[in-house]
Structure 1
Amino acid sequence: ASCGTSMVGSTHTKIVGGTTASHGEFPWQVSLMYGGSHVCGGTLIDSQWVATAAHCFEDYHNARYWTVGVGMHDRHHVYTTQVHHVRNLIVHTGYNSHTNLNDIALMKLDKPVDINTQYVRAACLPNAHDSFDQMTCTVTGWGATYFDENGNAPGAQFLRKVDVPTMSNYQCQYFLGRNNVHTSNICAGLRAGGKDACQGDSGGPLVCKKNGVWKLAGIVSWGYGCGDRNAPGVYTRVTSFLSWINQQKAAHP
């Protein structure tokens, strides 16, 4: 199965706040559920591995209670066939919740999923030298970026997508402060506000289409974009963690 391809044609959306995706348009998008509730997004990077954000597991680090929904579109109707258990939960040991440094984690599913279907595919990992600067990329998710008092993650019923232009880290530091944006981050979003990581999920994908395939450029990180609509969204830059990903996969065959 070739990664980064969708059997559903994708139309660019310039609608502020995004628009509902078609089922199967972003088949690598997964839902990370804790005790059955959608908490974070994630991305299938092959048949058994999901990339997501470390901050999703600050309070919930027992792999036993996590499940992963694949091929989902409607958050309110999840079929048991779509739900997979987690064998390994690997949070980057260098993750710092104060600086958001190394905000990346991997989940290994208990068994491989078929990634050659209309609704389930893997996104391509970028090459080490891939640059996504000044591109229009797409962030997807159900909008679950926080818990409310009842422990419910508010958000959309159907998967949503929004196009966001990436910017240089230098530009991003101008908006957000030099100490908040690391070289291992990538920023995207409109200065006018309204389109930011609030539309996606924590841990979910920022994908960019290069040479006809969708590559995972970023992972929605924590703490930016939602409070201030004039701020770009800050993502974990996947090219900075390719060797870490390969190390973890090798260590958990």
Structure 2
Amino acid sequence: MTTYCLIAFLVAAVSAAPSTWDINAPGCGSNVVSYKYPDHYIVGGQEAAKHAYPWMVAMYYRGSFRCGGSLVQGSGSRSYVLTAAHCTVNTNANQWEMRLGRHDLSATETSTRQHIGVDQVINNPSYSSSTYNWDIALLRLASNPTVNDYVRPGCFPIGDISPGENSFVSGWGALTEGGSSPDKLQVVNKPILTHQTCRDQLGSNSYYDSNMLCAGFDAGGADACQGDSGGPLMAIRGGRVEIVGVVSWGYGCARPERPGVYSNSVKSKNWVSGYINGN
């Protein structure tokens, strides 16, 4: 997102059997790590448990870290990274490298890492660079990763997103507004807000119900920040973690009454399904 820092939580979970209309690969949204909900924020700092979010992707462009993303798979034969369109617009596929199985970006992590190139950048055709509406994109991987304890696909949501629902966001973005970024993955939790609250606090000319949701506390203190763009906003449903949003934009980081804004995964599910189930 343009100004964010993220966090999330995960439970040890075996994915429930997907419904007949689920676009996800079997076993998505689970990990082998068990720990409690975080009680600190990315802005202020809490390191995630190692490999608690095995779908988390560090996206490098021309050799430099740019954004976060999530590994997704459907019934098709190819694997994709779900991210924000503002991260990928006007970029070349052959200059991206997706780094999977990572926790500490300063370490070699040779036993867990998988670094894979990209052969296609797919920005949502409705994406607006002026409003950030439909800020969602897919990167098709040049080869499929090996699925194991450290690299697993995330799940798209089956049901709608509810105001008040607890959500989690994770990333390697800045720990304070305008501050430095950590090497180790960070995580935080915050509630989903109503569309009316989002409009009231962000402005009706900036926040669009059509493909946005927002999450945060009136007092601030929990947010994504610079470098967290494209990463997942998650919720736990039915024994698995679902990616309910993609980090998009916000006014600064963790400011009072300035919740973070995310592209709504439910609204984009049909568009995403056309790719991950058809190729």
TM-score by length of 1: 0.89
Is residue 176 of structure 1 aligned with residue 176 of structure 2? no
Say what the alpha-carbon RMSD is for the aligned residues.
Answer: 2.2
Listed as ranges, the matches of 1:123-162 within 5 Å are: 123-127=154-158, 129-143=159-173, 154-162=180-188
Counterpart-to-counterpart distance in 2, 1:19 and 1:192: 19
User: Pairwise mapping of residues 77-156 of structure 1 onto structure 2 (< 5 A)?
Assistant: 77-78=107-108, 82-115=114-147, 117-127=148-158, 129-143=159-173, 154-156=180-182
C-alpha displacement of 1:10: 3.1
DSSP 3-state at the match of 2:205: helix
Report what 1:5 is aligned to: 30
Quote the residue 1:15 is aligned against: 40
Q: Which has the higher helix share?
A: 1
CA deviations over 1:212-239 (Å, ceiling 9, x no partner): 10000000003x1425712100000000
The 5 Å alignment of 1:1-253 reads: 1-16=26-41, 17=43, 18-46=45-73, 48-58=79-89, 60-78=90-108, 82-115=114-147, 117-127=148-158, 129-143=159-173, 154-183=180-209, 184-198=211-225, 201-222=228-249, 224-226=250-252, 229-230=255-256, 231-249=258-276, 253=279
* Structure 1, gaps ≥5 residues long: none
How far 1:154 moved relative to its partner? 4.6
Q: Which whole-Å CA distance do the structure 2 matches of 1:126 and 1:228 have between them?
A: 26
Shift in alpha-carbon separation, 1:79–1:196, aligned structure 2, 3 A:
same
Judging changes above 3 Å, is the alpha-carbon distance between structure 1 residues 185 and 125 closer, same or farther for their aligned structure 2 residues? same
Q: 2: distance between equivalents of 1:228 and 1:160?
A: 15
- CA contact under 8 A between 2:223 and 2:254: conserved in structure 1? no
Q: Secondary structure at the residue paired with 2:160?
A: coil
Decide which moves more: 97-106 or 192-201.
192-201
**CA drift at 1:250:** 5.4
Partner Cα separation in structure 1 for residue 35 and residue 260 of structure 2: 22
Deviations 1:4-38 (A, max 9, x none): 11110132112143410011111111011012211
Residues 1:250 and 1:43: Cα distance change in structure 2 (over 3 Å): same
Task: Give, in angstroms, the shift of residue 96 of structure 1.
Answer: 0.7
Instruction: State the Cα deviation string for residues 98-141 of structure 1 (Å, max 9, x = none).
Output: 111110000111111122x11111111112x4223211111000
Listed as ranges, the gaps of 5+ residues in structure 2 are 1-25
Q: Which has the higher contact order (CA 8 A, sep 6+)?
A: 2
